[in-house]
């Protein structure tokens, strides 16, 4: 099923120009904007939304402050200042439990929490402070490339966040992986609102007071924009929105990003949640956000701005107009103002986006197309090369993450050749489909020569019947040959798949596993899960076609995924069991000590695609030869 892009009438460039003239005629002034990236996201590279919006706003003459609160939060968590605050909170948490025990018998988990809190002595916290600071030094220095030290640092981060969790319990703060849980449901607006006010579990209230509030007081922006990528970020974002409105009611607060776009149909029906902010930018944000900023600066009504949901005295309104960006007209991202040296990497990795949408756009399980109101678009090759050159020189960066949803094969071929001819000397990673048109050895030789080191590849399934159900338009022969070509060229392939697509049987799933096991010599690493019935996917929109029955709880108004049953094939629970079996029994060479994508990318870039046994749990023998001992170079 091809993506449907008809989501409102398209605003014309002429109308957008008229809006700008209206703002100028209304005495619109240059506006000060603070752009915020909220927790939780791994702090290994900047997220592209802030630099992309910054470049457009600054080109129009507005002043922009970029604030990666997520990065600053983790830097603070792993510091003496924050851990001493944790120590001060220990008696408060013990007193809360003591009072609770007078009302009822404590649960087993609460008794365990008491004992753990009693172990949080001054000496223990002092030791954690020393370890936390050492761990940050490791991930930001050349010690990062010594695998044992990097693994130690990751374990320290887990130990510190587990200790932090004790004083915010029953919240569970986790990094890595990014699985912080405030003990509230993020898919129910009523619970999000409760979490915002819960000073016991809501660590983001303290983050606001220490990081965001002082910055707002110093900068005094007219507009604050917060970019939400993951639904989990609703907790931190809504907390920030509520506290900004409490302390700085004159500031216009707007939210945007992928999650906001996916919630566009329910946000107008959640007035209590919408009361925490003034507007929401949906779909593509550059022009819409610029129009919003200029309207606020001019004191002009927000009606007529495309891609906007806004609140005024008459209620909540959704713009009938949408707008899609002209890729050629957009400037390159502007990272000035972000503390690039503070990210948790030894070599800065910059994101870059050359395309919008997915050139294929037919996978039945995918809802990425929901973020756009027009089809696939790309910048011209010459513009891409020049912008990469500019970013490399401006920010002294060789490592790039091309964040395109799926890199188009024609552009892949042209770009790799042009990068070789241009002698740009960069190292890069991106995301791709398995394509028959790329089964040419010269393509992969160009890719390797151009600096391509790591590819996330959409495998999904190794069963051809299931691939057809998904409309992947590829075959196992194409997949096998692509893996072979990438491996031979020295380009690391990370194979991503899942179990439980509607209609997939257990035998189909086992076929998928067998394919990987039979080709283990060609597969470098894997990332697997189970099928999610996301509300905007073709499957969710046409459940009868796929034999699916979704179950929607009206109280879960912010739900983006649904529980479901199937007419044929694996149930949700059966798919989970297959996944668990695969996790227990798969080839151990795919198990890496470090699973953060930027970290594996940097290791491959430094040591080559020789399977990096130093990052594996157990170095293993493959075929007739022993894996090359990169451990000697790393450890």
3-state secondary structure 327-368: HHHCCCCCCCCCCHHHCCCCCCEEEECCEECCCCCCCCCCCH
Distance between CA atoms of 245 and 274, rounded to whole angstroms?
A: 12
Q: What is the pLDDT of residue 618?
A: 59
Residue found under tokens 């904007």? 33
**Mean pLDDT of the chain, nearest integer:** 93
The closest alpha carbon to 460, from 512, 420, 384, belongs to: 512
Sign, CA dihedral 415-419-424-430, equals positive
Is residue 141 over pLDDT 70? yes
The pLDDT tens digits for 259-313 are 999 999 999 999 999 999 999 999 999 999 999 999 999 999 999 999 999 999 9
Put the strands of the sheet holding 279-281 in their side by side order.
Answer: 63-68, 32-37, 223-227, 252-256, 279-281, 308-312, 315-318
Structure tokens at 463: 């069963």
Structure tokens at 632: 């000697």
Is it true that 9-71+191-319 and 347-634 share their CATH fold?
A: no
Is residue 424 over pLDDT 50? yes
Distance between CA atoms of 151 and 612, rounded to whole angstroms?
A: 14
Cis bond before residue 177 (omega within 30° of 0): yes
Distance between CA atoms of 434 and 509, rounded to whole angstroms?
A: 19
Going by pLDDT thresholds of 50, 70 and 90, the confidence category of residue 27 is low
CATH class of 9-71+191-319: alpha beta
Is residue 631 over pLDDT 60? no
CA end-to-end span of the chain: 49
Q: Where are the domains of the chain?
A: 9-71+191-319, 347-634
CA 622 to chain centre: 34
Q: What is the pLDDT of residue 621?
A: 42
Can you state the angle between helices 49-59 and 286-298, rounded to 10 degrees? 50
Distance between CA atoms of 538 and 347, rounded to whole angstroms?
A: 40
Q: Which of residues 28 and 137 earns the better pLDDT score?
A: 137
The pLDDT tens digits for 550-562 are 999 999 999 999 9
Beta bridge partners of 311: 316
Distance between CA atoms of 29 and 403, rounded to whole angstroms?
A: 34
In contact, 81 and 206? CB cutoff 8 Å? no
CATH number of this structure's domain 347-634: 3.80.30.20
Q: Which H helix or E strand runs over 138?
A: helix 122-139
């Amino acid at each position: 099923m091809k993506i449907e892009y008809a989501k409102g009438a398209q605003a014309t460039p002429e109308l957008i120009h008229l809006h700008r003239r209206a703002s100028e005629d209304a005495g619109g002034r240059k506006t000060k904007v603070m752009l915020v990236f909220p927790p939780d996201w791994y702090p290994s590279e900047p997220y592209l939304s802030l630099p992309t919006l910054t470049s457009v706003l600054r080109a129009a003459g507005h002043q922009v402050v970029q604030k990666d609160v997520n990065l600053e939060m983790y830097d603070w968590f792993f510091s003496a200042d924050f851990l001493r605050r944790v120590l001060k909170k220990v008696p408060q948490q013990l007193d809360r439990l003591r009072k609770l025990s007078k009302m009822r018998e404590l649960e087993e988990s609460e008794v365990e929490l008491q004992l753990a809190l009693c172990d949080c002595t001054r000496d223990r916290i002092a030791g954690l402070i020393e370890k936390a600071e050492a761990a940050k030094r490791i991930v930001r220095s050349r010690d990062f490339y010594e695998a044992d030290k990097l693994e130690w640092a990751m374990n320290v981060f887990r130990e510190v966040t587990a200790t932090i969790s004790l004083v915010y319990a029953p919240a569970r703060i986790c990094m890595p992986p990014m699985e912080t849980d405030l003990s509230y449901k993020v898919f129910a607006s009523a619970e999000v609102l409760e979490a915002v006010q819960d000073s016991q579990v809501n660590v983001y209230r303290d983050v606001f007071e220490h990081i965001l509030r002082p910055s707002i007081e110093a900068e005094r922006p007219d507009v604050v924009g917060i970019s939400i990528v993951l639904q989990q970020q609703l907790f931190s974002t809504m907390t920030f929105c509520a506290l900004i409105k409490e302390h700085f009611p004159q500031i216009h607060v707007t939210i945007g990003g992928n999650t906001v776009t996916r919630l566009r149909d329910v946000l107008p029906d959640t007035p209590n949640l919408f009361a925490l902010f003034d507007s929401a930018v949906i779909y593509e944000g550059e022009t819409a956000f610029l129009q919003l900023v200029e309207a606020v600066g001019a004191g002009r009504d927000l009606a007529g701005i495309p891609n906007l949901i806004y609140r005024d005295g008459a209620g909540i309104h959704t713009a009938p107009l949408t707008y899609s960006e002209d890729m050629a007209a957009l400037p390159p991202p502007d990272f000035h103002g972000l503390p690039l040296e503070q990210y948790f990497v030894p070599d800065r990795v910059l994101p870059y986006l050359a395309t919008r949408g997915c050139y294929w756009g037919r996978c039945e399980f995918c809802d990425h197309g929901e973020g756009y109101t027009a089809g696939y678009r790309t910048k011209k090759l010459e513009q891409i090369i020049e912008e990469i050159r500019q970013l490399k020189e401006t920010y002294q960066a060789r490592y790039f993450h091309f964040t395109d949803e799926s890199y188009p094969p024609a552009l892949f071929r042209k770009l790799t050749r042009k990068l070789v001819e241009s002698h740009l000397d960069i190292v890069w990673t991106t995301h791709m489909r398995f394509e028959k048109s790329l089964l040419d050895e010269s393509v992969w030789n160009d890719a390797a020569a151009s600096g391509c080191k790591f590819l996330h590849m959409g495998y999904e399934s190794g069963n051809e019947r299931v691939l057809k159900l998904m409309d992947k338009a590829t075959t196992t022969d194409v997949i096998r040959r692509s893996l072979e070509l990438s491996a031979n060229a020295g380009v690391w392939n990370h194979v991503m798949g899942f179990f439980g697509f509607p209609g997939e049987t257990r035998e189909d799933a086992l076929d998928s596993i067998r394919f990987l096991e039979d080709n283990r010599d060609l597969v470098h690493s894997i990332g697997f899960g189970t099928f999610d019935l996301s509300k905007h996917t073709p499957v969710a929109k046409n459940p009868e076609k796929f034999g699916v029955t979704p179950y929607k709880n009206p109280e879960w108004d912010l739900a983006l995924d649904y529980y479901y049953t199937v007419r044929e094939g694996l149930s949700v629970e059966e798919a989970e069991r297959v996944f668990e079996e695969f996790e227990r029994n798969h080839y151990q060479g795919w198990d890496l000590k470090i699973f953060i994508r930027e970290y594996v990318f940097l290791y491959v870039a430094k040591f080559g695609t020789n399977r990096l046994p130093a990052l594996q749990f157990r170095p293993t023998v493959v075929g007739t030869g022993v894996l090359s001992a990169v451990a000697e170079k790393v450890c």
